[in-house]
Amino acid sequence: MAKKLLIIDDDPDFVSGIKSILDGAGFEVEVCYNPKDGLQALQTKTFDLLLLDIMMGRGAEGIMIARKLRKDAKLREMPVLIITGMREQIAFLFPGEPIHPRFVEVDELVEKPVEPNLLIEKVNNLISLAEAKKTGKKIKSP
Amino acid sequence: MDKSNEAKILIIDDEEVVLDSCSQILKGSSYLLSTAPDGTTGLAKIKEVQPDLVFVDLKMPGISGFEVLEKIQEIDPTIVTVVITGYATVGSAVDAMKKGAYDFLPKPFTPDEFRLITRRSIERRRLVLETIALRREKEMLREQFASIVSHELKAPLGAVQQNVFVLEHELSHLMNEDQKIKLERIKIRIDELLKLINSWLRVISVDIDKLKGGFSPIQITTPIISALESMETYATRKNILLETNYMEPLPPVNGDALSLSEVFVNIIGNAIKYSADGTKVIIKVEEKQGQLLISIRDSGIGIAEEDIPHIFEGFYRAKSGQSTSGQGIGLAVSRRIIDAHGGSISVASELGKGTTFVVRLPSSTI
């Protein structure tokens, strides 16, 4: 079954770019263009991964979503790929340094624009990492 | 000081004759004058009338002039203060000025002396306020510029590039070599623009002086190795060998690894950029007299003698016929980072022969 992804990003042109890549890679992709719709989708449906723009609108509304995810026991287990156009404001601008925002248990940060193969690789990695964590937990718990 | 209002002056002195004569001198002028016979009343009046200029007698019964000065500083440090003193207490007038008073008025004074010092002090107040307003404006411009650059330039360009990526990804099996080359060119040019915007943002939005707060002892090889890692692909593409020579053991440096590796990324990146295919860039680290010397040597096109003094200035690129693209900000940022570390960067170069950058950093063992 195709993995379900949600993109929350307020830039339609950018979204059309990454959605096309993810569609092509066989994912089922849903899009929300603002944080409010995004939160609603997260609360009513289940996704295998969230692609989140951290700097939507005037402030960092994406961070607000990430904080809400962290507080929610179920959503906390969903992997998040944070996409930002402003890495230098979140961390020190530096090439080649991996940045793990650690908003939720499984997350990673990529900078806009993102290479198609890198995007697909990150999405797949995060999903399998989150699944491994989940099954690992189930085996351990009685 | 509101332009529609007259300048407000407050005189705090216990001698009625001083208050009276001052009022007399300023009569008919465009100043709004109030008076207070002691410090406590004076401070209450300051809060009430918000004066531009306050004259304070140093010797008063009750709380002293010095105390009044201190309190004024707390209430509003932009208020200009002038102390009134007897000749015998000029020494304490100097002390008062050390504490922030702008000037002093020795007793007895002539009307002209009083008028002059008043005019100068009011002018001072105007300048203080203007400086604050300009500083605030500059800060706002800086912030707005950063946000304009990032949102209005970078975001659309990122979206463009994203869609170029998609076209390349989805059409690669349909395109002929020539079309692929054209698309690759588009990608490279957009990528250069994005990098340029990033550098601008970096210069505008990061306060390098704040780095000092986060310094810790580090091995200098750590930022060098991480810089080399991020430059590896670039070097391989240009077929340039990055050779390292660390004269170990090396003492630690007190610094910030991230910003130092940014410096080395800039310098090594430049070395690669201006080198011909198939040449070497040599990175050498050694300790000399309590200093760490990091030298980065290339055998590239070199820098003309007349250009060398300018290369650290920012937004400057040598004119000597280079065909490579660049933004000329990297070295300016690098120098500021090295300055913040108490070190220095120097450069020696010969056209057509190559360039050597030397970074000197104090080792943290001293």
Q: Is the pLDDT of residue B225 over 80?
A: yes
Mean pLDDT over B77-81 rounds to 93
B187 touches chain A (CB under 8 A): no
Task: Please give the pLDDT value at position B3.
Answer: 47
Which residue type is seen at B238? K
Instruction: Report residue A26: phi and psi, to 5°.
Output: 90, 15
Q: Is the pLDDT of residue B306 over 60?
A: yes
Task: Please give the pLDDT value at position A138.
Answer: 58
What does the mean pLDDT of chain B come to?
85
Length in residues, chain B = 366
User: In chain B, what residues touch A97 (CB-CB under 8 Å)?
Assistant: 226, 230, 258
Instruction: Report residue A101: phi and psi, to 5°.
Output: -70, -25
CA distance B238 to B281: 12
Interface of A with B (CB under 8 A): 11, 13-14, 16-18, 20-21, 24, 85-86, 88-89, 92-97, 112-117
Q: Is the pLDDT of residue B228 over 70?
A: yes
pTM equals 0.52
pLDDT category, A96, cuts 50, 70, 90? very low
Q: Is the pLDDT of residue A58 over 70?
A: no
Q: Do residues B311 and B349 touch, judged by C-beta distance below 8 A?
A: no
pLDDT category, A139, cuts 50, 70, 90? low
Which runs of consecutive H residues, i.e. helices, occur in B50-154? 65-75, 90-98, 111-148
- Tokens linked to B226: 């991480």
Nearest to B200 by CA among B159, B152, B165: B152
Among the ranges given (A54-63, A125-134, B92-101, B107-116), the one the predictor scored with the smallest mean pLDDT: A54-63
CA distance B34 to B42: 9
Q: Is the pLDDT of residue A8 over 90?
A: yes
Task: Please give the pLDDT value at position A137.
Answer: 65
Task: Please give the pLDDT value at position A66.
Answer: 81
Among the ranges given (B61-70, B134-143, B164-173), the one the predictor scored with the smallest mean pLDDT: B134-143
Task: Please give the pLDDT value at position B323.
Answer: 40
Instruction: Report residue B185: phi and psi, to 5°.
Output: -60, -45
Q: Do residues A62 and A33 touch, judged by C-beta distance below 8 A?
A: no
Task: Report the complex ipTM.
Answer: 0.75
- Which H or E run contains A63? helix A61-71
Which residue type is seen at A55? M
Rg (CA), chain B: 31
Closest Cα of chain B to A31: distance in Å? 16
Closest Cα of chain B to A116: distance in Å? 7
CB contact under 8 A, B169 and A93: no
Task: Please give the pLDDT value at position A57.
Answer: 62
CA distance B328 to B338: 17
User: In chain B, what residues touch A115 (CB-CB under 8 Å)?
Assistant: 165
Mean pLDDT over B304-316 rounds to 74
Closest residue to A11, CB basis, from B159, B258, B265: B159
B183-211 pLDDT, tens digit per residue, is: 998 998 898 888 777 766 766 655 666 67
CB contact under 8 A, A20 and B258: no
The beta-strand segments (E) located in B13-117 are: 32-36, 53-57, 80-86, 103-107
Mean pLDDT over B155-160 rounds to 90
B144 touches chain A (CB under 8 A): no
> Can you say how many angstroms the Cα of residue B316 is from the centroid of all Cα atoms in its chain?
18
Task: Please give the pLDDT value at position B210.
Answer: 67
Nearest to A48 by CA among A30, A23, A68: A30
Q: Is the pLDDT of residue B291 over 50?
A: yes
Cα-based angle B148, B153, B159 (whole degrees, multiple of 5): 135
B251-289 pLDDT, tens digit per residue, is: 999 998 888 888 898 899 989 988 999 999 999 999 998
